[in-house]
C-alpha cells in the first residue's frame, strides 16, 4: 500500500491539496512502514497549475489531505486512487493509526 499525504509544512497533514507542493509518500507492507519519502515540487507543477505533480506521486493507492476540492477528488479516483479527508493533524499519528487498522 502506498499512501501520499499533503504536508506543506513537512509536519502536518494540510489542506488546499491542489496548491500543495510538499507531500509525504509512505510504502506500507504487513502493517510496517517500508519507506518514507518527502516529495517537493515546483509551484508550476502543483495540481492547481499544470498537475505534473501527479507523475511524481504515482504510483499510489491512497491520497490523504485535510481538504481538497471535488475536481481533484474526481481526478484521483479516475486514476484508481482512493481519497481520504482527515481531521488528523500529525502525519506520524495518521500513519501509526493506519498501520494498526490494517
pLDDT digits (tens, 9 = 90+) for 21-41: 999 999 999 999 999 999 999
Predicted TM-score (pTM) of this structure: 0.95
Do the Cβ atoms of 23 and 68 come closer than 8 Å? no
* Dist CA 69 CA 15 (whole Å): 10
CA-nearest of 22, 54, 17 to 38 is 22
**Strand runs labelled E in 46-95:** 62-65, 82-85
* Dist CA 7 CA 14 (whole Å): 5
Longest dimension (CA), the chain: 37
Q: Where exactly are the structural domains of the chain?
A: 1-52
pLDDT digits (tens, 9 = 90+) for 5-16: 999 999 999 999
Amino acid at each position: 500500500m502506498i499512501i501520499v499525504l499533503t504536508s506543506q509544512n513537512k509536519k502536518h497533514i494540510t489542506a488546499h491539496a491542489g496548491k500543495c507542493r510538499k507531500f509525504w509518500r509512505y510504502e506500507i507492507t504487513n502493517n510496517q512502514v517500508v519507506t518514507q519519502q518527502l516529495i517537493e515540487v515546483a509551484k508550476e507543477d502543483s495540481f492547481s497549475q499544470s498537475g505534473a505533480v501527479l507523475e511524481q506521486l504515482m504510483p499510489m493507492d491512497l491520497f490523504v489531505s485535510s481538504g481538497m476540492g471535488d475536481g481533484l477528488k474526481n481526478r484521483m479516483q479516475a486514476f484508481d486512487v482512493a481519497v481520504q479527508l482527515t481531521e488528523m493533524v500529525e502525519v506520524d499519528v495518521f500513519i501509526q493509526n493506519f498501520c494498526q487498522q490494517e
